[in-house]
A and B are shown apart, each in its own frame.
Chain A
Amino acid sequence: AQKVTQAQTEISVVEKEDVTLDCVYETRDTTYYLFWYKQPPSGELVFLIRRNSFDEQNEISGRYSWNFQKSTSSFNFTITASQVVDSAVYFCAPGSCQAGTALIFGKGTTLSVSS
């Protein structure tokens, strides 16, 4: 079974600061997936990224970047030049390829960006 730890419960930054959200996972699967979701104050859950365990390349999408380190079982998320609209709860979730499983979400990190 997967487990995930998001050690940072809350982070507060000022606009334009860079911020990194940590995610450490546990899995016994040799092939697995890793996800980040965003939950803004409006409440919906928004998909941000999916990463296959075979692909350790870092990914950048605009101000967002993800650092996947299989050796340390971490999948950290960095927001560059944060904006107030980035204020949200961010969830990391490892996923199995096996049928009969479900995404196991971390407890989330609440990011507050002030102007």
Chain B
Amino acid sequence: DTAVSQTPKYLVTQMGNDKSIKCEQNLGHDTMYWYKQDSKKFLKIMFSYNNKELIINETVPNRFSPKSPDKAHLNLHINSLELGDSAVYFCASSQGAGQGHGYTFGSGTRLTVV
């Protein structure tokens, strides 16, 4: 059983489109995250939810909107996609809202905007 699963694994889309990435964890964790990894491998936190409540909202264009219907799911919706949105997006989960337990990451979604 995959602990943190993201779908889709690959996403190729045209500029201006709207797309969503889904993330589900079956670890019973109460905190979930979205990270963006750029072409230079730099990992940057975007959002975090703890028990469905948004607790981290970094400086991200408001075209990006996270949604957590329950603590096992965290989705990322992106409106009006731009070339610069091309990246690998990682979902992660952890127990507790601090960093003491570390994260379990999903396998990533490679988004390519053309």
Q: Identify the A interface with B (CB < 8 A).
A: 32-33, 35, 37, 39, 43-45, 47, 50, 52, 89, 91, 95-105, 107-108, 110
Query: Are B99 and A102 in contact, CB atoms less than 8 angstroms apart?
Result: yes
Separation of A39 and B43 alpha carbons in the complex (Å): 11
Chain A residue numbers with a CB within 8 Å of B102 are 33, 35, 47, 50, 95, 103
Of B40, B97, B103, B107, which contacts A100 at CB under 8 A? B97
Pick the 4 closest A-B CB pairs, nearest first: A95-B99, A99-B97, A45-B105, A102-B45
Interface CB pairs A-B, < 8 A, 26: A32-B99, A33-B100, A35-B102, A37-B105, A39-B41, A43-B108, A44-B107, A45-B90, A45-B92, A45-B108, A47-B102, A50-B101, A50-B102, A52-B100, A95-B99, A95-B102, A97-B98, A97-B99, A98-B98, A99-B96, A99-B97, A101-B56, A101-B98, A102-B33, A102-B48, A102-B99
Closest chain-A Cβ to B77's Cβ sits at a distance in Å of: 20
Q: Identify the B interface with A (CB < 8 A).
A: 33, 40-43, 45, 48, 50, 55-56, 88, 90, 92, 96-105, 107-108, 110
Separation of A33 and B99 alpha carbons in the complex (Å): 7
Chain A residue numbers with a CB within 8 Å of B99 are 32-33, 35, 95-97, 101-103
